[in-house]
Amino acid sequence: MKKRHLTSALAIGAAATIALAGCAGDGGGGGDAASDKQLTIAVFNGWDEGIAASELWKAVLTEQGYDVTLEYADVAPVFSGLSTGDYDLTLDVWLPQTHASYLEQFGADITDLGAWNEEASLTVAVNEDAPIDSLADLAKHADEFDNRIVGIEPGAGLTEAVQNETIPTYGLDGMEFVTSSTPAMLSELTAATDAGENIVVTLWRPHWAYDAFPLKDLKDPEGTLGTAEGIHAFGSGSFADDHPEVAEWLSNFEMDSELLYSLENAMFNEHTGDDYEQVVADWIADNREWVDGLTK
Protein backbone atom coordinates (compact mmCIF):
# COMPACT_ATOMS: atom_id res chain seq x y z
CA MET A 1 0.00 0.00 0.00
CA LYS A 2 1.48 3.32 -1.03
CA LYS A 3 2.05 5.66 1.88
CA ARG A 4 2.10 9.03 0.19
CA HIS A 5 3.49 10.67 -2.91
CA LEU A 6 5.59 13.76 -3.29
CA THR A 7 3.88 16.31 -5.50
CA SER A 8 4.86 19.28 -7.58
CA ALA A 9 7.97 20.15 -5.57
CA LEU A 10 9.41 16.76 -6.46
CA ALA A 11 8.62 17.20 -10.13
CA ILE A 12 10.15 20.67 -10.20
CA GLY A 13 13.20 19.37 -8.37
CA ALA A 14 13.59 16.53 -10.85
CA ALA A 15 13.48 18.98 -13.74
CA ALA A 16 16.12 21.10 -12.03
CA THR A 17 18.35 18.06 -11.67
CA ILE A 18 18.09 17.31 -15.39
CA ALA A 19 18.98 20.91 -16.17
CA LEU A 20 21.99 20.76 -13.87
CA ALA A 21 23.13 17.53 -15.48
CA GLY A 22 22.99 19.22 -18.89
CA CYS A 23 25.04 22.16 -17.64
CA ALA A 24 27.60 19.82 -16.11
CA GLY A 25 27.97 18.07 -19.45
CA ASP A 26 28.79 21.47 -21.02
CA GLY A 27 31.52 22.10 -18.44
CA GLY A 28 29.40 24.28 -16.11
CA GLY A 29 27.47 23.74 -12.88
CA GLY A 30 29.82 21.06 -11.57
CA GLY A 31 29.87 22.55 -8.07
CA ASP A 32 26.08 22.51 -7.76
CA ALA A 33 25.89 18.92 -9.01
CA ALA A 34 28.49 17.87 -6.44
CA SER A 35 26.51 19.60 -3.71
CA ASP A 36 23.38 17.67 -4.75
CA LYS A 37 25.27 14.45 -4.02
CA GLN A 38 26.19 15.37 -0.44
CA LEU A 39 23.85 14.26 2.34
CA THR A 40 23.93 14.44 6.12
CA ILE A 41 21.67 11.93 7.88
CA ALA A 42 20.90 12.63 11.54
CA VAL A 43 20.60 9.54 13.74
CA PHE A 44 18.91 9.43 17.14
CA ASN A 45 21.29 8.29 19.87
CA GLY A 46 20.37 4.82 21.12
CA TRP A 47 17.51 4.09 18.67
CA ASP A 48 18.70 0.88 17.03
CA GLU A 49 16.10 0.72 14.25
CA GLY A 50 17.13 4.23 13.18
CA ILE A 51 20.82 3.37 13.33
CA ALA A 52 20.18 0.26 11.21
CA ALA A 53 18.07 2.11 8.62
CA SER A 54 20.59 4.96 8.44
CA GLU A 55 23.56 2.63 7.95
CA LEU A 56 21.60 0.76 5.29
CA TRP A 57 20.75 3.92 3.38
CA LYS A 58 24.29 5.25 3.74
CA ALA A 59 25.53 2.10 1.98
CA VAL A 60 22.78 2.21 -0.66
CA LEU A 61 23.29 5.90 -1.43
CA THR A 62 27.06 5.51 -1.52
CA GLU A 63 26.58 2.85 -4.19
CA GLN A 64 24.56 5.43 -6.12
CA GLY A 65 27.37 7.98 -6.01
CA TYR A 66 26.32 10.04 -2.99
CA ASP A 67 28.65 11.31 -0.27
CA VAL A 68 26.81 10.46 2.96
CA THR A 69 27.67 11.50 6.50
CA LEU A 70 25.91 10.15 9.60
CA GLU A 71 25.70 12.45 12.60
CA TYR A 72 24.42 11.17 15.95
CA ALA A 73 22.39 13.45 18.21
CA ASP A 74 19.53 13.44 20.70
CA VAL A 75 15.97 13.76 19.44
CA ALA A 76 15.38 17.48 20.05
CA PRO A 77 18.57 18.68 18.28
CA VAL A 78 17.77 16.45 15.29
CA PHE A 79 14.38 18.10 14.74
CA SER A 80 15.88 21.53 15.27
CA GLY A 81 18.70 20.77 12.84
CA LEU A 82 16.29 19.52 10.18
CA SER A 83 14.24 22.70 10.48
CA THR A 84 17.29 24.88 9.90
CA GLY A 85 18.77 22.71 7.14
CA ASP A 86 21.81 21.67 9.19
CA TYR A 87 20.68 18.07 8.66
CA ASP A 88 19.23 16.78 5.40
CA LEU A 89 17.44 13.68 6.63
CA THR A 90 16.47 11.47 9.54
CA LEU A 91 14.86 8.03 9.32
CA ASP A 92 13.35 7.37 12.75
CA VAL A 93 10.38 9.66 13.42
CA TRP A 94 7.53 7.84 15.19
CA LEU A 95 4.01 9.08 14.45
CA PRO A 96 1.31 9.85 15.32
CA GLN A 97 2.20 9.73 19.02
CA THR A 98 5.82 9.45 20.15
CA HIS A 99 7.23 12.48 18.34
CA ALA A 100 4.01 14.45 18.01
CA SER A 101 5.24 17.31 20.20
CA TYR A 102 8.25 17.84 17.92
CA LEU A 103 6.01 17.96 14.88
CA GLU A 104 3.92 20.63 16.57
CA GLN A 105 7.06 22.71 17.02
CA PHE A 106 8.98 22.01 13.80
CA GLY A 107 6.49 20.42 11.41
CA ALA A 108 6.06 23.50 9.21
CA ASP A 109 9.78 23.56 8.42
CA ILE A 110 10.46 19.89 7.67
CA THR A 111 9.28 17.37 5.07
CA ASP A 112 7.48 14.09 5.79
CA LEU A 113 8.67 11.51 3.26
CA GLY A 114 6.29 8.82 4.52
CA ALA A 115 6.32 5.79 6.82
CA TRP A 116 8.66 2.92 5.94
CA ASN A 117 7.46 0.64 8.75
CA GLU A 118 3.91 0.60 10.15
CA GLU A 119 4.48 -1.89 12.99
CA ALA A 120 6.17 0.25 15.63
CA SER A 121 4.97 0.24 19.24
CA LEU A 122 6.15 1.26 22.69
CA THR A 123 6.24 -1.59 25.20
CA VAL A 124 6.98 -2.61 28.76
CA ALA A 125 8.47 -6.10 28.59
CA VAL A 126 9.39 -8.83 31.07
CA ASN A 127 11.20 -12.13 30.88
CA GLU A 128 9.08 -14.76 29.13
CA ASP A 129 8.62 -16.89 32.27
CA ALA A 130 7.67 -13.96 34.52
CA PRO A 131 4.64 -14.55 36.78
CA ILE A 132 2.50 -11.77 35.21
CA ASP A 133 1.13 -10.94 31.77
CA SER A 134 -0.34 -7.47 32.30
CA LEU A 135 0.71 -4.08 33.61
CA ALA A 136 -2.42 -4.23 35.74
CA ASP A 137 -0.76 -6.98 37.82
CA LEU A 138 2.70 -5.46 38.13
CA ALA A 139 2.12 -3.47 41.34
CA LYS A 140 1.00 -6.60 43.20
CA HIS A 141 4.13 -8.46 42.09
CA ALA A 142 6.62 -5.57 42.34
CA ASP A 143 8.76 -7.38 44.92
CA GLU A 144 9.36 -10.20 42.47
CA PHE A 145 10.96 -7.65 40.11
CA ASP A 146 13.09 -6.03 42.84
CA ASN A 147 10.70 -3.04 42.79
CA ARG A 148 12.45 -1.68 39.69
CA ILE A 149 11.49 -0.74 36.14
CA VAL A 150 14.58 -0.39 33.98
CA GLY A 151 14.18 2.37 31.40
CA ILE A 152 16.23 4.01 28.66
CA GLU A 153 17.24 7.64 28.04
CA PRO A 154 15.49 10.23 30.28
CA GLY A 155 14.49 12.40 27.30
CA ALA A 156 12.97 9.62 25.19
CA GLY A 157 9.30 9.66 24.25
CA LEU A 158 9.00 6.15 25.68
CA THR A 159 10.35 7.36 29.02
CA GLU A 160 7.88 10.24 29.03
CA ALA A 161 4.96 7.91 28.31
CA VAL A 162 5.91 5.47 31.05
CA GLN A 163 6.59 8.23 33.58
CA ASN A 164 3.49 10.30 32.88
CA GLU A 165 0.94 7.66 31.84
CA THR A 166 1.87 4.07 32.66
CA ILE A 167 3.21 4.52 36.19
CA PRO A 168 0.33 6.62 37.59
CA THR A 169 -2.37 4.66 35.73
CA TYR A 170 -1.29 1.29 37.13
CA GLY A 171 -0.22 2.51 40.58
CA LEU A 172 3.48 1.82 40.05
CA ASP A 173 4.72 4.87 41.95
CA GLY A 174 6.24 2.59 44.58
CA MET A 175 8.63 1.09 42.03
CA GLU A 176 11.93 2.75 41.19
CA PHE A 177 11.98 3.90 37.55
CA VAL A 178 15.64 3.74 36.52
CA THR A 179 16.55 5.82 33.45
CA SER A 180 20.01 6.00 31.97
CA SER A 181 20.52 4.75 28.42
CA THR A 182 19.44 2.02 26.05
CA PRO A 183 22.82 0.22 26.31
CA ALA A 184 22.54 0.28 30.11
CA MET A 185 19.04 -1.20 29.94
CA LEU A 186 20.22 -3.94 27.60
CA SER A 187 23.15 -4.69 29.91
CA GLU A 188 20.76 -5.19 32.83
CA LEU A 189 18.50 -7.31 30.63
CA THR A 190 21.44 -9.50 29.66
CA ALA A 191 22.53 -9.93 33.27
CA ALA A 192 19.01 -10.81 34.46
CA THR A 193 18.53 -13.29 31.62
CA ASP A 194 21.85 -14.99 32.33
CA ALA A 195 20.97 -15.21 36.02
CA GLY A 196 17.43 -16.46 35.42
CA GLU A 197 15.96 -13.47 37.30
CA ASN A 198 12.78 -11.48 36.68
CA ILE A 199 13.16 -8.04 35.12
CA VAL A 200 10.91 -5.26 33.81
CA VAL A 201 12.26 -3.07 30.99
CA THR A 202 10.88 -0.36 28.77
CA LEU A 203 11.33 -1.37 25.15
CA TRP A 204 9.85 -0.92 21.72
CA ARG A 205 9.07 -2.84 18.58
CA PRO A 206 10.82 -3.30 16.22
CA HIS A 207 13.95 -4.07 18.28
CA TRP A 208 16.48 -6.88 17.95
CA ALA A 209 16.15 -7.66 21.68
CA TYR A 210 12.97 -9.60 20.88
CA ASP A 211 15.05 -12.03 18.86
CA ALA A 212 17.97 -12.12 21.28
CA PHE A 213 16.12 -12.56 24.60
CA PRO A 214 13.11 -14.61 25.78
CA LEU A 215 10.71 -11.70 26.34
CA LYS A 216 7.01 -10.97 26.44
CA ASP A 217 5.19 -7.65 26.37
CA LEU A 218 2.95 -6.86 29.31
CA LYS A 219 -0.60 -6.12 28.20
CA ASP A 220 -1.59 -2.48 28.52
CA PRO A 221 -5.39 -2.60 28.97
CA GLU A 222 -5.63 1.16 29.61
CA GLY A 223 -3.67 2.05 26.49
CA THR A 224 -1.06 4.15 28.28
CA LEU A 225 1.59 3.42 25.65
CA GLY A 226 -0.60 4.24 22.68
CA THR A 227 -1.29 2.15 19.61
CA ALA A 228 0.91 0.97 16.74
CA GLU A 229 2.78 3.74 14.99
CA GLY A 230 4.59 4.36 11.74
CA ILE A 231 8.33 5.02 11.49
CA HIS A 232 8.78 7.92 9.09
CA ALA A 233 11.63 9.42 7.14
CA PHE A 234 11.77 13.21 7.41
CA GLY A 235 13.84 15.65 5.41
CA SER A 236 14.65 19.32 5.72
CA GLY A 237 12.11 21.78 4.39
CA SER A 238 13.83 21.92 0.99
CA PHE A 239 14.77 18.24 0.80
CA ALA A 240 12.47 17.33 -2.11
CA ASP A 241 13.87 20.23 -4.15
CA ASP A 242 17.50 19.65 -3.18
CA HIS A 243 17.50 15.84 -3.53
CA PRO A 244 14.51 14.81 -5.67
CA GLU A 245 15.94 11.41 -6.59
CA VAL A 246 16.52 10.40 -2.97
CA ALA A 247 13.18 11.87 -1.92
CA GLU A 248 11.42 9.64 -4.44
CA TRP A 249 13.31 6.54 -3.30
CA LEU A 250 12.48 7.22 0.34
CA SER A 251 8.83 7.94 -0.39
CA ASN A 252 8.61 4.36 -1.71
CA PHE A 253 10.80 2.76 0.98
CA GLU A 254 9.14 -0.06 2.96
CA MET A 255 10.81 -2.51 5.35
CA ASP A 256 8.85 -4.97 7.45
CA SER A 257 9.88 -5.81 11.01
CA GLU A 258 11.24 -9.29 10.26
CA LEU A 259 13.64 -7.93 7.65
CA LEU A 260 14.62 -5.11 9.98
CA TYR A 261 15.22 -7.59 12.82
CA SER A 262 17.64 -9.53 10.62
CA LEU A 263 19.65 -6.39 9.89
CA GLU A 264 19.61 -5.30 13.54
CA ASN A 265 20.68 -8.75 14.70
CA ALA A 266 23.63 -8.69 12.33
CA MET A 267 24.66 -5.23 13.52
CA PHE A 268 24.00 -5.28 17.25
CA ASN A 269 23.78 -8.89 18.38
CA GLU A 270 26.18 -10.90 16.21
CA HIS A 271 28.66 -8.02 15.82
CA THR A 272 30.65 -6.15 18.46
CA GLY A 273 31.75 -2.55 18.08
CA ASP A 274 30.21 0.40 16.29
CA ASP A 275 31.86 0.09 12.87
CA TYR A 276 29.03 -1.36 10.82
CA GLU A 277 30.27 -0.90 7.25
CA GLN A 278 31.30 -4.50 6.59
CA VAL A 279 28.36 -5.96 8.51
CA VAL A 280 25.90 -3.95 6.44
CA ALA A 281 27.76 -4.82 3.23
CA ASP A 282 27.46 -8.52 4.05
CA TRP A 283 23.75 -8.14 4.87
CA ILE A 284 23.18 -6.31 1.59
CA ALA A 285 24.93 -9.12 -0.30
CA ASP A 286 22.54 -11.61 1.32
CA ASN A 287 19.52 -9.44 0.42
CA ARG A 288 20.72 -8.08 -2.91
CA GLU A 289 17.46 -8.32 -4.84
CA TRP A 290 15.48 -6.45 -2.19
CA VAL A 291 18.17 -3.77 -1.79
CA ASP A 292 18.37 -3.19 -5.54
CA GLY A 293 14.64 -2.52 -5.50
CA LEU A 294 15.11 0.45 -3.16
CA THR A 295 16.49 2.62 -5.95
CA LYS A 296 14.43 1.47 -8.90
The domains spanning 8-120+228-293 and 121-217 adopt the same CATH topology: yes
What is the CATH number that goes with domain 121-217?
A: 3.40.190.100
142 within 8 A of 113, measured Cβ to Cβ: no
Q: What is the pLDDT of residues 168-190, one digit of tens each?
A: 999 999 999 999 998 899 999 99
The third-level CATH classification (topology) of the domain covering 8-120+228-293 is D-Maltodextrin-Binding Protein; domain 2 (3.40.190)
Q: What is the pLDDT of residues 71-124, one digit of tens each?
A: 999 999 999 999 999 999 999 999 998 899 999 999 999 999 999 999 999 999
Q: What is the pLDDT of residues 135-156, one digit of tens each?
A: 999 999 999 999 999 999 998 8
Please give, one letter per residue, the 3-state secondary structure of 184-220.
HHHHHHHHHHHHCCCCEEEEEECCCHHHHCCEEECEC
Phi, psi angles (nearest 5°) of residue 73: -160, 165
Q: What is the pLDDT of residues 38-57, one digit of tens each?
A: 999 999 988 899 999 999 99
Q: What is the pLDDT of residues 273-284, one digit of tens each?
A: 778 999 999 999
Q: Can you give the pTM of this predicted structure?
A: 0.74
Domain boundaries, the chain: 8-120+228-293, 121-217
